């Protein structure tokens, strides 16, 4: 029972303490465990460069692309998780963000002017959002599989456009170099310590990590605020039932267009960071597998849950860039140790997509809501399962 004290810091401290304890005690053990896992996960992400240096993992160059893909997953979660619109062409907006940064900052750009990286970063956000509206406008009447096919076509068209526009995008040759981020940094010289402009190079992996982490943290804050806003509630109402949402006064056209625009905008951030970090961009970096991998991150982590998407993004990224290659070596080493020919020939690196498919099959069969689903999404899926079970029982009884 919470006790109220009218005066003194001790009374207020005891009030907040008892309130926090009562809130924790009201949660189920599963929720407490889930929150503990996600909190530990975030702490590890914050401290990862220190852990990497202390444990001699030498994986900073791998973690940076993983964080970029996680930002992509945050944006796609708006479209798929919040609004319930299946988008299979999300890699197209990733390409648009990257090429926007390249056009604005690269010396080989056909544009008559050059912009700073930070200007290009913001411009990539707006250009990707505008392209999201252009994609969403023709698909307003489409749902389900038909919407997925149209977005898949858009995801295939955009890289081909950049490939064929040789005079603008240099086609298969790609564009490089691309503008790098810079910021004030103290440097010691003959005249003492002065503030100089530090430009991030490819070797500055820790600086790149925290820059991408900062952009990701701002993205998480923005997505959480969107989810709790009136627009976020409109997305969720539209996801549950478009007819009921329209009858309650929700403008479906505006709501869908904003879902496509805001979902695509975060891929603009990711694309510009990715292009600047690699210092090279070409159309072959944005194939269909990117869209599938990002969608797999959302399904694994939990559709509609921001923190679950972060977890799924890092786990899937680690599997794609680290575990798939290392696990193949481990299995072959085990085969050599046991002298088992079948294990000696296994190459998990070439079987990544088969493992993706198997993982998706198992997730959709055993836990369709994901590892850390949102409460709303979990309740919806359970309601659908109960409705289907009741219909099957009624049909069996009538027979």
pLDDT digits (tens, 9 = 90+) for 105-162: 999 998 988 999 999 999 999 999 999 998 888 888 888 888 889 999 999 999 999 9
Q: Which of 216, 393, 240, 176 is nearest to 307 (CA)?
A: 216
Q: How far is CA 242 from CA 4, 80, 238, 324, in A?
A: 46, 15, 5, 41
The pair of three-digit structure tokens given for residue 212, joined into one six-digit string:
């991408």
Q: Cα angle at 317 between 269 and 367, to 5 degrees?
A: 110
- Helix ranges (H only) for the chain are 9-25, 29-46, 48-55, 60-77, 91-105, 117-136, 144-164, 166-169, 205-228, 230-240, 242-247, 252-278, 288-301, 306-318, 324-338, 341-344, 352-366, 375-398
Which segments in the chain show pLDDT lower than 70? 1-28, 30, 189, 348-349, 376-399
Residue 13: per-residue pLDDT = 53
Q: Is 52:348 a contact under the CB 8 Å cutoff?
A: no
User: DSSP class of residue 181?
Assistant: P
SS3 call for 351: helix
CB-facing half-sphere around the CA of 34: CA atoms within 13 A:
17
Residue 385: per-residue pLDDT = 60
Residue 3: per-residue pLDDT = 45
The H or E element that residue 195 is part of is strand 192-199
Residue 139: per-residue pLDDT = 84
Q: Is 82:236 a contact under the CB 8 Å cutoff?
A: yes
Residue 333: per-residue pLDDT = 79
Q: Which of 90, 67, 66 is nearest to 78 (CA)?
A: 90
Q: Rounded to whole angstroms, how far apart are CA atoms 374 and 235?
A: 14
What contacts 24+ positions apart, CB below 8 Å, involve 194-203?
A: 202/277, 202/279
Q: Is 44:66 a contact under the CB 8 Å cutoff?
A: no
Residue 277: per-residue pLDDT = 93
SS3 call for 241: coil
> In which residue are the tokens 């160059």 written?
61
Q: How many residues does the chain have?
A: 399
Instruction: Name 183's bridge partners.
Output: 198
Residue 301: per-residue pLDDT = 87
Q: Rounded to whole angstroms, how far apart are CA atoms 395 and 399?
A: 6
Q: Is 269:141 a contact under the CB 8 Å cutoff?
A: no
Q: Which of 303, 298, 297, 296 is nearest to 379 (CA)?
A: 303
Q: Domains for the chain: give ranges and CATH numbers.
A: 29-398 (1.10.3470)
Q: Which of 78, 221, 223 is nearest to 136 (CA)?
A: 78
């Amino acid at each position: 029972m919470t006790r109220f004290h009218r005066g003194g810091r001790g009374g207020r401290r005891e009030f907040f303490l008892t309130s926090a304890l009562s809130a924790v005690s009201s949660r189920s053990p599963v929720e407490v465990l889930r929150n503990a896992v996600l909190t530990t996960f975030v702490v590890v992400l914050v401290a990862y460069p220190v852990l990497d240096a202390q444990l001699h993992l030498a994986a900073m160059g791998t973690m940076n692309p993983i964080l970029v893909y996680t930002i992509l997953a945050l944006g796609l979660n708006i479209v798929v998780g919040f609004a319930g619109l299946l988008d299979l062409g999300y890699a197209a907006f990733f390409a648009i963000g990257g090429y926007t940064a390249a056009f604005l900052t690269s010396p080989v750009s056909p544009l008559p002017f050059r912009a700073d990286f930070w200007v290009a970063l913001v411009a990539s956000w707006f250009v990707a959002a505008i392209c999201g509206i252009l994609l969403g406008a023709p698909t307003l009447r489409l749902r389900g599989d038909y919407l997925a096919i149209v977005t898949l076509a858009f995801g295939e068209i955009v890289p081909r456009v950049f490939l064929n526009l040789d005079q603008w995008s240099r086609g298969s040759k790609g564009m490089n170099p691309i503008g790098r981020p810079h910021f004030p940094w103290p440097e010691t010289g003959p005249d003492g310590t002065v503030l100089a402009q530090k430009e991030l190079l490819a070797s500055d992996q820790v600086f790149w990590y925290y820059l991408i982490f900062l952009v990701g943290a701002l993205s998480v804050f923005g997505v959480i605020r969107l989810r709790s806003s009136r627009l976020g509630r409109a997305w969720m109402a539209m996801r549950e039932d478009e007819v009921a949402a329209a009858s309650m006064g929700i403008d479906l056209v505006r709501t869908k267009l904003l879902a496509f625009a805001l979902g695509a905008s975060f891929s603009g951030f990711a694309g510009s960071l990715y292009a600047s970090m690699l210092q090279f961009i070409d159309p072959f970096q944005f194939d269909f597998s990117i869209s599938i991998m990002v969608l797999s991150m959302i399904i694994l982590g939990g559709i509609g849950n921001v923190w679950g998407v972060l977890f799924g993004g890092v786990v899937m990224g680690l599997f794609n860039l680290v575990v798939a290659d290392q696990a193949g070596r481990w299995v072959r080493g085990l085969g050599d140790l046991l002298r088992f020919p079948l294990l000696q020939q296994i190459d998990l690196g070439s079987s990544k997509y088969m493992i993706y498919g198997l993982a998706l099959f198992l997730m959709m069969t055993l836990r369709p809501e994901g590892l850390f689903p949102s409460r709303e999404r979990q309740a919806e899926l359970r309601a659908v399962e109960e409705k289907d079970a009741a219909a099957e029982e009624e049909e069996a009884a009538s027979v």
